[in-house]
Amino acid sequence: MTTIKTRAEDIYGRLEEHVFSGKIVSSSPDDPLGTIRMTTELAWFPERIIPKDEIVRGVKRVRLPRKGSKTFKVNGSMGDVYTVTKQGKVWSCTCVGYGFRRTCSHIKTAITRDKKKRVRNRIT
Ligand SMILES: [Zn+2]
């Protein structure tokens, strides 16, 4: 279960804040760019779409890679590119999902690439 807070202007230009709880689920191909999908536990409205730029917490946790770190560019499902960083044994990603769950599919992709690279280096 994840709780996120959003902040957006309503039609009168007033700032409105909302708190949503649910599970982050994968977006549908029809969803607008730059949005996430979250469950609501309401039978008549099972999932809501939330624009990433309205999320107050859990986003834009971009850490600059330090010495001894590796970075991987991983394509997201909606054409966006995320930076996955390996710092020692710790993996991190610039996507929203990582901000909530501390893991994501991009990290899995990067780990696979990292392993393949190491195997190749051993052979050659
Ligand atoms: Zn990610």
Tell me, in angstroms, the distance from the centre of ligand 1 to residue 52's CA.
Answer: 14
Cα of 71 to ligand 1 centre, how many Å?
12
Together in a domain, 119 and 74: yes
Q: Rounded mean pLDDT of 59-81?
A: 71
Task: Tell me which residue range forms the domain holding 11.
Answer: 2-57
Is-contact 101 51, C-beta < 8 A? no
Please give all residues whose CB falls under 5 A of ion ligand 1, grouped by chain where several chains appear.
82, 93, 95, 98, 104, 106
If one counts the domains in the chain, the total is: 2
- Which of 40, 57, 74 is a domain's end point? 57
Residues 67 and 44 grouped into a single domain:
no
pLDDT of residue 108: 95
Q: Six-digit token pair at 85?
A: 């960083």
CA of 42 to the centre of ligand 1 (A): 27
Whole-structure pTM value = 0.44
d(CA 104, CA 41): 23
> What is the per-residue pLDDT across 35-54, written as a single tens digit (0 to 9) for each?
999 998 888 889 999 988 88
Q: Please indicate whether residue 2 or residue 108 has the higher confidence score (pLDDT).
A: 108
Angle at 36 between CA 34 and CA 41, to 5 degrees: 160
CA distances from 63 to 2, 19, 59 (A): 22, 26, 12
Residue 79, pLDDT score? 85
Residue 75 Cα to ligand 1 middle (Å): 9
Q: What is the DSSP secondary structure assignment for residue 55, as one 8-state letter?
A: B
Distance from the alpha carbon of residue 103 to the mean position of ligand 1, in angstroms: 7
Ligand 1 center to residue 107 CA distance, Å?
A: 6
The pairs formed by 31-40 with CB atoms below 8 angstroms and a separation of 24 or more are 31/78, 33/78, 33/79, 33/80, 34/78, 34/80, 36/96, 36/97, 38/2, 38/4
Is residue 78 located within the same domain as residue 45? no
